Chain A
């Protein structure tokens, strides 16, 4: 158990809908990362927040958005869902932001499996 929690575990929805995935980082971790993993694309970095502010952006679609709240939990919002958005969505947390120290070790949550029908 990494200490990172994600809800829900599974989510089934229809195309065109909007969903919110939730992540609580490990106690004391200020950075939250979101990843998407699909069979054909592998693990893709989406976005990072550090202490409430966006820190780094990867391959995140405009239909997707995220935020980190004052209590450091984070939400990933996926809208206008398409079949291709079906994937496993991971959240990870670390202490640090963007350096080279050991505080950058990322601990992954168990993931949310999203199925778009």
Chain B
């Protein structure tokens, strides 16, 4: 059975801190892994990862995939209050996309 586990479930840090969010997965016929940020409403796309070891960066956010160990991490440096959100990891297999329960991140000013 396909499985996605995100940790931690919840994280509270101060502005300026660096955070690392984890996603481990067991998915047959794996194709890619996506990260989303969900604030009040719809998720917004952050990254799509298909190859191991290649870091993707977007401003203060970066992410990397390890297809051998079946996990991905999302790093946010110099956090800001606007980073407060739920971060969702979603491995994609053939004919299916599986979302994790998310990590709820709260940034204190």
Task: Please give the residue numbers on chain A whose beta carbons come within 8 Å of chain B beta carbons, in ascending order.
Answer: 2, 33, 35, 42-45, 48, 55-58, 90, 98-100, 102, 104-111
Contact = CB atoms under 8 A, between A and B. Distances in A.
B44 A45 contact: no
A102 B88 CA distance: 18
Contact of B99 (A44, A48, A107, A111): A44
A42 B34 contact: no
Contact of A43 (B94, B95, B96, B99): B99
Interface of B: 31-32, 34, 41-45, 48, 50, 88, 90, 92, 94-102
A108 B43 contact: yes
A56 B34 CA distance: 17
Which secondary structure characterizes the binding site on chain B?
A: strand
Contact of B97 (A2, A45, A100, A107): A45
B28 to A, nearest CB: 14
Nearest to B32: A100
Given A44-B99, A58-B97, A105 B43 contact: no
A42 B101 contact: yes
A45 B92 CA distance: 11
A47 to B, nearest CB: 10
Contacts of B45: 105-108
A109 to B, nearest CB: 6
Given A45-B96, A104-B32, A105-B45, 16 more contacts: A2-B42, A35-B99, A42-B101, A42-B102, A43-B43, A45-B98, A56-B96, A99-B31, A100-B32, A100-B50, A102-B48, A104-B48, A105-B34, A108-B43, A110-B41, A110-B42
